[in-house]
Structure 1
Amino acid sequence: GIRATCSEIILRQEVLKDGFHRDLLIKVKFGESIEDLQTCRLLIKQYIPTGLFVDPYELASLRERNITEAVMVSEDFNIEAPNYLSKESEVLIYARQDSQCIDCFQAFLPVHYRYHRPHSKDGETFIVVNNPDLLMYCDQEFPILKCWAQSQVAAPCALKNKDICQWNNMKYKSVYKNVTLQVPVGLTIHTSLVCSVTLLITILCSTLILVAVFKYGHFSL
């Protein structure tokens, strides 16, 4: 069939940095020269699981500095909600051509861990980041569209453009099935200790503040 003559689209998703603040990096490699696809644009639709959040204010700052072209899709988004009270969210990332790979695009997105409930035994939990939807829009027909386009999805034509384009949802081969993040969490057996220490520190600090106010404060009747 026609797909036998088509080069595969390879998507690689990885997480950079350590700790509670990570960078999600998505790389897409085409099997045919990018010169043939100059009129095409690539859009990543990334699903953010409940255990993570994306800061819309951080995205706005990164867009201003031209570091990434990502925008939140989800509304009523609470970045302070814990894992068990949050919902899955969506982010659109307009991918850019990779300067180090002639046939590649890449997209970058900073993500952050949410607060997770303490566990009774294990001091860790796991977050699974599934592979994204890969959307492609071209001003003209290319064989790659006939090969791998599965359906059409309506989305903004560009980051600063309110016009809606019909993007092709592309089939691709992923290097990894998904990305799994390991998150350290507290233990329930430590709850009483943590609460007691927190209460004692609060009382101590409040007492010191009151002493300082009465000792150095100036009161007028």
Structure 2
Amino acid sequence: MAVGCTKLKYHFPFAVRGFADVQATCQDVTVTQELLKEGFHRDLLVKVELGVVGEDARGCTVAARTRLPPGIYVDPYEVASLQQHNLTQAVLIPDVIDVEAPEYLATDLLVLLYMEPDPQCSRCFSAALPVHGRYHRPAEDSEEALVVLKSPEVLVCCCDNHLSAECWKPAEVAAPCSGKTVGPCQWYGVMHKRVYEESILQVPVGLRQHSSLVCVVTLLATVFCSSLILAAVCKYGHFSPVTCSD
């Protein structure tokens, strides 16, 4: 006697809804970044609002990890000076940067920017970092080159707090929990929504059809300035004979 099998379908509306609620809670974290000023020398302003998950991160160190493309760089000497005056805290990877290299000879730069709490918002953090545009190759028909900065990651480092495993995941970051301390620690990253997916830096560039004119003007200016210096030395310089003794 054949026995028929009936397929049963189970629905878990509460489980699915619970998972969606957890995802919504994690996505409550928002990140915004903005490029201030104009020209080659700018300030990168990053703001983070932890939202509901900020309850887990109280007393923790909050940082933003961002990768800068070759078209933009950070001056390590400038950052060191700012850190001495407690104006910013950042870790640069690599820490040796050729600030004179053009865009086509430079590499990416990873920056871990420590954030300061907002006194008017218990779950809000912000930090600013001076950045500089690199020189680009002359273009054919455009007087601007576009450098795209993607949205940074949000990281926290906690000593005693227990972070929610649903939102916070271990992250591989070889940096101390504070810019003033030494030694690595365990960082955690969180899923978040980006107010703006990316920022765009517009860098002025020259046009290739102007290359000959620029070379000629530069050569003439160099010859003219050198002639003025030589004339001044000959007119106002004091020359004394030098005797050689055996």
With structure 2 as the length reference, what TM-score do the two structures score? 0.83
1:12 is aligned to 2:32: yes
Q: Report the counterpart of residue 147 of structure 1 in structure 2.
A: 166
SS in 2 for 1:120: coil
Alignment root-mean-square deviation, CA = 1.7
SS in 2 for 1:119: coil
Per mean C-alpha deviation after superposition, the further-off stretch among 3-12 and 177-186 is: 3-12
Provide Cα deviations, 1:185-213, integer angstroms capped at 9, x if missing partner: 10011111111011001111111111111
Give the alignment of 1:107-186 within 5 angstroms: 107-138=127-158, 139-142=160-163, 145-154=164-173, 155-186=175-206
Partner secondary structure for residue 91 of structure 1:
strand
Please tell me whether the aligned partners of residues 33 and 102 of structure 1 are also in contact (alpha carbons under 8 angstroms): no
Asked whether the equivalents of residues 36 and 44 of structure 2 are also in contact (C-alpha less than 8 Å), the reply is yes
Shift of 1:36: 5.6
Q: Give the Cα–Cα distance (whole angstroms) in 2 for the partners of residues 157 and 103 of structure 1.
A: 18
Larger radius of gyration: 2
Give the counterpart letter for 2:145 in structure 1.
Answer: T
Q: Aligned partners of 1:10, 1:16: CA distance in 2, in Å?
A: 20
Question: Amino acid of the residue matched to residue 4 of structure 1?
Answer: D
- SS of the residue 2:122 aligns to: coil
Sequence identity, in percent? 46
Unmatched 5+ residue regions in structure 1? none
Partner residue in 1 for 2:6: none
Residue 105 of structure 1: how far off its partner (Å): 0.8
Q: 2:121 matched to 1:101?
A: yes
Pairing partner for 1:207 from 227, 235, 238: 227
Letter in 1 for 2:77: Y
Cα deviation code 1:134-183 (max 9, x no counterpart): 111222214xx323224432332221222211111211100001101111
Aligned mates of 1:169, 1:219 — CA distance in 2:
69
Give runs of ≥4 in structure 1 deviating > 3 Å: 33-37
Higher strand share: 1
Shift of 1:33: 8.0
In structure 2, distance between residues paired with 1:167 and 1:46: 15
Secondary structure, counterpart of 2:77 in structure 1: helix
CA distance in 2, matches of 1:2, 1:36: 19
Give the secondary structure class of the aligned counterpart of 1:157: coil
Number of the residue aligned with 1:41: 61
Count of aligned pairs between the two proteins: 219
Q: Deviations over 1:70-117 (max 9, x none)?
A: 121214421110000000011111111012323201121110010111
Q: Is the 8 A contact 2:76 2:95 kept in 1?
A: no
Q: Which runs of 5 or more structure 2 residues have no equivalent in the other structure?
A: 1-17, 242-246
Matched letter for residue 147 of structure 1 = E
Distance change in 2, residues 1:163/1:3 (3 Å): farther
